[in-house]
Structure 1
Amino acid sequence: MKFITQSAMIRIILIILAVGLAIRGELHHFVTDFRLFTFCAFALAALLATTLARGRLRDIGLVVTALLIGLSVVEATAVYLERRPIVTMTEGWSVARPVLGWGPAHPGVFHAKRQMPDGSLIYETDYTIDDDLLRHTNSATTGPAMVFFGDSYTFGDGVHDSETLPQQFADLIHKQERVLNLGFTGYGPQQFLRGVEIGFYDKIIGDKPQLFLFLTAPWHAQRTSCKVSWSPHSPHYRLTEDGVAFDGSCNQGASLLWHEFLYNSAAYRVFISQLIEKPSHDDVELYIRVLSEAVRQSKAKYGVDTAILYMRVPDAYLAGTGFTNDDIIKRFEASGAKVIDASLDRARADGLILEIPNDGHPTPLANRFRAGLLIEALGIHVTERTQ
């Protein structure tokens, strides 16, 4: 009878420990860059197992160990190149929610801090979420609402409550109208359409809203086509012969598990995702149709017009899709929307800072400019306040 040596027993225990820690890391994400931790832990387990093997099994173990070490090196390189910012948010800021996919868990003040990997500050601010789970906007409390739909640009990632696009719009019209900010981080046209379709915001908006507004750019096509890392649980639409049809949520079932596995890898995010996420003709077509349908349904259901603030993208972004910025604008106009060019090219040419450095979200100045563009383009009459 052959007994297991003390050395072999120690290696077996270490193998079990390494595999257990790797699995725990995948399930609970208890370490930063846990996918790198997983690859390293499995590489260690494979190496230890190889020392216990003999003959052909040892050869197989060497190949597996080399493969896992290679994956660890690639993942470590991607982690170094990616230099992801350090984000600190108050718990409950964004949780899974029905219909729209995610949003705040409860009213309150949520502290947001974003730093570079070296600790230097990108921004630090507070987001006030009201009882309707919307970013607080100080405006008139009664009357037909002017409603902003949209994503983090509309919500105001990185800026104070007083500096968001909806708030600056409300300020410029001297708070004479009721202004609502329905935007939230990561949203897209699909949340706009789904919310209108099922009346998700009816109690908040009221019976006769005055105007809907939506800030967009062609990169929203990656969201309507479920090609972004945060797409799981988002409403999803598919193209039909003459429009779009609701098709449940993005990345359901096994697709959800695979999606999360891929995007939890720095190597995938750095070296592969940009190729996968590149928009196709059908992606842009879906984006146009979803937003156009939201415009049409808003008019049919609420009798309200929609103004689209459109941010142009470089021609290279749309290369190969068969679309240009002008093509997209014409399609939106054909749906009945009032399209306003919100690219701010002149201000950018003047050297003004329109994006938060090392982040990309609009600065308070950019929000101010876009609010002014809205008022001018829509011909909104502002009554001067008396002293």
Structure 2
Amino acid sequence: MLFYIFLTALSIIASFLILKFTIAPYIWLCLLWIIFFLACFFRTNRTLLKALFVYPIAILLTLGIFETYLWFKFQQKESMLQYENKDYSQPHDILGYAPQKDIVTTSRNYHGNELLYDVTYSINPYGLRVTPEPTKKDKKACILFFGGSFTFGEGVNDEQSMPYLVGLKSGYRTYNFGFHGYGPHQMLAALEHDLVEETIDCMPTHIIYQVIMGHVSRSAGHSRWDKHGPKYILGEDGKVKYQGHFDDQTISSWLGKVRDKSTIYRKIFQNGSYIFVNKQDVELFIQIVNSAKKISKHLFKESLFHVILWDPSPSSNDTNVQHYNMIMKGFNKNHIRVHLVSDILPSYKNKVKYAISPHDWHPNYLAHDLISYYIVDTIINSH
């Protein structure tokens, strides 16, 4: 009996060390516990126990082989993102994380040995990506942009990002509040916690939020990079309530971090994080956007709130299309103005035409440029 107690304790301690210090920990965890059950198998003389030990060995062997296969496969295929400034992104108590203020950094993305892009991100003293100086006589009017990497302009230079191009074409001052991995919860938190008012020195005429379907899972807290992001829940009255951060529940946060280290989980399940999205998550997303619209109107009386939505292609899975239909219904119900990217970009089904690369689906300069023309002509100049 002492042998089994000692072996179990040793294996548990080793498991924690593996999770903390190793690359691809689940490969080593499977190997560790296979050795554990093999030791138990050879230690006992009881036929029934030997038979019982065979099952976990078989399961762990299967999972270990699959984990190893996926890890090596995606190590070869995954893009490698490099930032010249290691402190480019830093913790932020309200937004979860944010760019460091007043820096310029180079970002390079490789797919194997192929360079996908080599671009510069310039962040101003307020922690936003730079936009051009306004040329309009009315310097007090401005346009605010929110969203994730599509709004920020991941993979394109400063002057190629959509908010920058809108500033050039319209003459208005523009503010780019987008950042890699952000969702609507960062937009709402920035508005609620006075981050926007502290940053701008103008009166917004338009507030534009650019959406991809992945934002639903982000606002629900399913993103592994956003564990400290602002957490919102739906109250019994259907209204959104701020609840601190996703990782305020320590045990739940720790379990999420442990789970995220599995290649099987990341590539089979989280690769399409919509798998974990349910109707409640979609409704939460809708109400977060609706709350952002309402508070925008409260803060900036003359502003108009618009959404640019990258709608799913016809080839998307049924779940994604179902969620899209729910979102459109919810937006219409709450009188949120929506502009579909499929109506903006010609030949929208040809995704490669508007992507940086088949290995990086962020929009390229052509997409940013066409969307900026649409925003200026259809949204700004039509009001």
String of CA shifts for 1:128-185, please: whole Å, max 9, x gaps: 1121111122232953331111100001111111111111111222xx2211111001
CA RMSD of superposed structures (Å): 3.3
State yes or no: 1:97 paired with 2:92.
yes
1:221/1:283 contact within 8 Å kept: yes
Q: Which residue of 2 aligns with 1:127?
A: 121
> Normalized against structure 2, the TM-score is what?
0.82
Which of 250, 255, 260 is matched with 1:253 structurally? 250
Which of 278, 281, 290 is matched with 2:279 structurally? 281
Q: Which residue of 2 aligns with 1:243?
A: 239
Q: Which residue of 2 aligns with 1:88?
A: 82
> Structure 1 residues 233-242 or 136-145, which shifts more?
136-145
1:280/1:321 contact within 8 Å kept: no
**How many Å separate the matches in 2 of 1:293 and 1:219?**
19
Greater fraction of residues in strand: 2
1:354/1:362 contact within 8 Å kept: yes
State yes or no: 1:55 paired with 2:45.
yes
1:295/1:336 contact within 8 Å kept: no
> Normalized against structure 1, the TM-score is what?
0.81
The alignment-based identity, stated in percent, is: 21
The verdict on how the C-alpha distance between 1:289 and 1:112 changes in structure 2, with shifts beyond 3 A counting, is: same
Rg comparison, structure with higher value = 1
> Structure 1 residues 92-101 or 102-111, which shifts more?
102-111
SS state of the match for residue 228, structure 2? Answer: coil
Q: Which residue of 2 aligns with 1:354?
A: 354
Superposition pairs for residues 29-40 of structure 1, below 5 Å? 29=22, 31=23, 33-40=24-31
1:281/1:320 contact within 8 Å kept: no
Which of 287, 295, 298 is matched with 2:296 structurally? 298
**How many Å separate the matches in 2 of 1:72 and 1:183?**
39
The verdict on how the C-alpha distance between 1:206 and 1:352 changes in structure 2, with shifts beyond 3 A counting, is: same
1:284/1:321 contact within 8 Å kept: no
Q: For this pair of structures, how many residues does the alignment match?
A: 362
String of CA shifts for 1:266-323, please: whole Å, max 9, x gaps: 1112233348734322222111111011011100122122121122114675846895
- Structure 2 counterpart of 1:170, one-letter code: G
Q: Which residue of 1 aligns with 2:3?
A: none
Superposition pairs for residues 238-387 of structure 1, below 5 Å? 238-240=233-235, 241-251=237-247, 252-273=249-270, 274=272, 277-303=275-301, 304-314=303-313, 319=318, 325=324, 328-329=327-328, 331-343=330-342, 344-348=344-348, 353-357=353-357, 358-380=359-381
1:92/1:106 contact within 8 Å kept: no
**Consecutive unaligned residues in structure 1, runs of 5 or more:** 1-11, 382-387
Deviation of 1:87 (Å): 2.1
**Consecutive unaligned residues in structure 2, runs of 5 or more:** 1-5
- Structure 1 counterpart of 2:223, one-letter code: V
State yes or no: 1:168 paired with 2:174.
no
Deviation of 1:238 (Å): 1.5
